[in-house]
Amino acid sequence: MAEETQTFQITGMDCADCARAIERGVARMDGVQSCSLNYTAAKLQVQGDAAREAIVARVRELGYDVGGGAAPAAAVETPPATGGPFGFIRFLLARRNTALALAGALLILPGLLFDELRLWPGAPAWLVISTSLAALAAAGYPVARSAWRALRVNREVSINALMTVAAIGAVLIGATTEAGLVMVLFAVGEALEGYTMEHSRDAIRSLMQVAPREATMLQPCLDCREHLGKDGYTGGPCPFCAPEEHRVNVDTLRPGDAIVVKPGERIAMDGRVTVGVSSVNQAPVTGESTPVAKQAGDTVYAGSINGEGVLEVTVLSLAADNTVSRIIRMVEEAQEKRAPAQRFVDQFARYYTPAVVVIAALVAVVPPLVLGAPFLNPAPGEQGWLYRALELLVVACPCALVISTPVSIVSAISNAARRGVLIKGGAYLEALGRVKAIAFDKTGTLTEGRPNVVRLRAVDCLSCERPDDACTNCGDLLALATAIERRSEHPLARAVVDTAERNGVSDKYPAADGVKALAGRGVSGSVNGHAVSIGSHAWFDSTVPHDETYCKEIDGTSAQGQTPLLVSVDRQYRGYITVADTVRETSRDAVAALKEAGVQTLVMLTGDNAAAARNIGGQVGVTDVQANLLPAQKVDAVRDLLKQYGTVAMVGDGINDAPALATASVGIAMGAGGTAQAMETADVVLMADDLARLPFAIRLSRAALAAIKTNIALSIGVKLVFLAIVLLGLGTLWMAVLADVGVSLVVTLNGMRLLGYQDRT
């Protein structure tokens, strides 16, 4: 069998230690080159030539199962985790192992009430002992079985083994109720951890629900009986009937198919508008807060919501390859790319658990042998060193530490994805939170990336300030220029025509006749019998007389990075139009928000001339501008920033700036206008084609770093405190496990807070 990568959806996991046990067990198989299990997505990926049936058998041998199909794990694991205590009970009843934990919780009540809390001191001993042992058996059976399988298959001592040894030891020294309590609390705690993680998986599930599963397909009328024989029609698509509407599953659609999207309907597929005009709410995909106008030729994304108009859309990709599907895949893949903090915790836990067993054995044996201290409990209320060693096993369980990092990372990445920011892994999330400086490409990042008319000035102008508020004379100048430029394919011509259309003067003059492009100089033609020319200042200096005052004014616009287009009629100078790439409306606010967030070094890197670069940089508010840079020089500039600041982000289009993006600590791409390519290129993708979400991504990443540090500190700190309590003989077994379960729950909930993190700006 050829080597390949196989993907499995794992069910039955309640904690990150379950994932590690499966990962190690499968990795030990013959034919497996490598494997990784993403606990948060419950997805196992195996590379090698091992048979699929053998891998499934190994997973089941370890006590877990494999779900069917290729849907994300959220779709195959358990029903959505509904809130409240009743939601948790439903979660417990959904699987055999967790149902046994619930049964154990009910059976331990007599021991807890009558033995530990002494609510009925005269309760029959047989009742307390029998119910406690039954609780231990019910809750402990899955735990002990898992411990044995990990020992037999993986040759390792797991967290479950620590709890099993502690419970059996407690029974041997007569602490039956405590043994049952330990196992019940641990089993319920594991289930609670799985329940809270299921809430985290709901974030991915909500992404899955963004795009509808059905679409209205336009299909031609085939072999139309009504029109057979008419004008030579003999069958096939009927040329006389309008396309028919059919509801189909999106999985059946192929590129080139046509679908219709009605007002208020979610768009089912990525596509290009062929007919219709509407505004589309892209917030579910890109995070943009305002609807975007769409017309023929514009791209629309699956999952966005159509506005007031009917759109006919040509499908561009398969359902499995649309924007939403790619987002889901990348969110799941991002969870597999562990942050440095998570890799450290995983490595630490690998050696930590066996070390705990050795230390616990030393605690049980050394004081009695060396100091003559009691090995067993000498009297009721007094603790021997065996009991303290059992407590140590419980206290030392690394559950909270193991879960502390991944739950924070998956919550942050899922939240970011819902708001139009794709972060491709925990490592990039962590790096983004440490960014000290950000470098920006200019064109298409800080600016619109296309030329726009920024100034009109006719010879008899009435002091116009903006192109969209032109006086009559400037409007006439724009209309004349449009009559020529509508016959030109030059990018600057499109800017002139678009402005004329917005100002309502595009049809004032008929399209010019005899239009000729004069290479490097301009364009000329005839409008209503008059010779009209549009060209550069240098060309006009040698061909069309004009006042020195205009020359100085035009040179001033050039110094600001604008491109002047001079206009003449019958060799008489009539005025000029300047065109330039304009700053995005969101760029100024984004740069200001980044400064407010504490990123004080914001550098613009551009290949444009220094005058134009300084003008744009001043409008946006960056702290430094570096102009006239070739792609290799942009890389050098990023390296210089890395030397100065350590962690640097680079923001660009994801393709042209690929070398600089790859050099930076975090490469951030603008998503729209080539979303698929940008997704594959950068470490972070802003799905909306602006910088508005970048400050949010920075703040979210910092909040995630703070949550991870808090969780790790809390996990270790509580264990150290209880370790001291245990060694002093002041604790109990069930208090130790309650502390461990409690901390696990606290760190999980603290990490899950990131799911609801809001940008305060």
Question: What string of H, E and C letters represents the secondary structure of 530-558?
Answer: EEEEEECHHHHHHHCCCCHHHHHHHHHHH
632 has a pLDDT exceeding 50:
yes
Taking the chain, what is the end-to-end CA distance rounded to the nearest angstrom?
55
pLDDT, position 335: 52
* Domain 448-582 is found in CATH 3.40.1110.10: yes
Residue 322 neighbours by CB distance under 10 Å:
25
Pairwise CA distance, residues 513 & 527, whole Å: 7
Highest mean pLDDT among 345-359, 419-433, 473-487, 726-740: 473-487
| Residue 759 bears catalytic tag | no
Q: Which residue has the tokens 């491709």?
A: 424
pLDDT over 90 for what percent of the chain?
19
Provide the sign of the torsion angle of the four alpha carbons 95, 395, 178, 168, taken in this order. positive
Residues 6+ apart with CB under 8 A from 293: 277, 278, 279, 280
Q: pLDDT at position 332, please? A: 64
Query: Around Cβ 508, how many Cβ atoms within 10 Å?
Result: 15
Domain boundaries, the chain: 214-226+233-321, 448-582
**Dist. CA 280–CA 262, nearest whole Å:** 11
pLDDT digits (tens, 9 = 90+) for 544-584: 888 888 888 888 888 777 889 999 999 999 999 998 888 88
List 441, 476, 657, 740, catalytic entry: 441
The answer, as to whether pTM is greater than 0.75, is no
DSSP-derived pairing of the beta strands 601-605 and 648-652: unpaired
pLDDT at residue 343, as a whole number: 58
CATH tag, 214-226+233-321: 2.70.150.10
Alpha carbons 617 and 604: distance in angstroms, whole number: 7
Task: Return the pLDDT at 586.
Answer: 87
Structure tokens belonging to residue 27: 């990795």
Provide the mean pLDDT of the chain. Answer: 82
Q: Residue 131 and residue 391: Cα distance in Å, rounded? A: 22
- Measure the CA–CA gap between 368 and 271, rounded to whole angstroms: 76
Q: How confident is the model at residue 239 (pLDDT cuts 50, 70, 90)?
A: confident
**Which amino acid, residue 180?**
G
Least confident of 81-95, 148-162, 353-367: 81-95
Do the Cβ atoms of 85 and 23 come closer than 8 Å? no
| pLDDT band with cut points at 50, 70 and 90 for residue 327 | confident
Q: What is the mean pLDDT of residues 125-149?
A: 89
